[in-house]
Amino acid sequence: MSRITQTFLRLQEQHKKALIPFITSGDPSPELTAPLMHAMVKAGADVIELGVPFSDPMADGPAIQRSSERAIKQGVGLRQVLGYVAEFRKTDDSSPVVLMGYANPIEHMGYEAFAKTARASGVDGVLVVDYPPDEGGDLFRHLSEQQLDPIFLLAPTSSDARIATVAKLARGYIYYVSLKGVTGAANIDLAEVMARLPRIKALTKLPIGVGFGIRDAATAKSIASIADAVVIGSRIIQEIEQSNAANVLTNVGALLSEFRLAMDSLGT
């Protein structure tokens, strides 16, 4: 049983929902990536989505694009990202880590080499934005051999057939993209999310996380009332941009604590 599955089972027993923050590896600096991961866990993160910097992140809005540019300028690529996970694992062997990125860096390394190195580094799941479930068979086979969970995206435009395909192949959880656009593009449409999630849950027993457009604690609480997990990305990147090396850990931790407190208040 993967760390991701164990985490969701534990949260279910505690009647809590998962908080899944996203940061881009190497932003604001390579040496702060592992400390940021630890700070987020301390603030209440249940799963960490660790972005792999890429020069053409087509699903990401301006904030995350800028974070990738900053990381790339500092020489951060896929191998460095895997090194940050290994560093994190030296003192945290329980918090799940999901790599989120694009196909090109993985193809450059090679599917088998990537899967083996990711497993050895302590990665738990992999979300490749531009690998739909019907086109990444070789990669998914290597991930399965290394007991890594393939995470897939679903969108408001996903058909029942696509939902069923994802439900068959996915492990860990499914990431529902709440917007018909890029990250950070607009405020989330709660009514639409509430209407769509039952359709997905009818076809899978996997936890459903919702992301894109969640910018404040109140919205996170609303999403947590209907989903199994809340994914926060652009808002954290913006906090990093507005911080400096001396206060970024404190600021990001304080922001995540607000989300955690709001989500946990559902049970009170």
pLDDT for the residue 195? 86
Domains of the chain: 3-267 (3.20.20.70)
Choosing from 27, 46, 60, 228, the catalytic residue is 60
Q: What is the mean pLDDT of residues 19-36?
A: 97
Q: Is the peptide bond before 21 cis (omega within 30 degrees of 0)?
A: no
pLDDT of 94 strictly over 90: yes
| 60 labelled catalytic | yes
pLDDT of 191 strictly over 60: yes
| 216 labelled catalytic | no
pLDDT band of 267, cuts 50, 70, 90: low
Q: What is the mean pLDDT of residues 240-261?
A: 97
Outline where DSSP puts E strands in the chain: 18-24, 48-51, 97-101, 125-128, 149-150, 152-154, 174-177, 208-211, 229-232
pLDDT of 199 strictly over 60: yes
pLDDT band of 187, cuts 50, 70, 90: low
Q: What is the pLDDT of residues 126-148, one digit of tens each?
A: 999 988 888 878 999 999 999 99
pLDDT for the residue 107? 95
- On the CB side of 171, how many CA atoms lie within 13 Å of its CA? 19
Write down the mean pLDDT value for the chain: 92
Residue 212, phi-psi category: left (phi > 0), alpha (psi -120 to 50), beta (remainder)? left
Choosing from 13, 27, 31, 49, the catalytic residue is 49
pLDDT of 268 strictly over 60: no
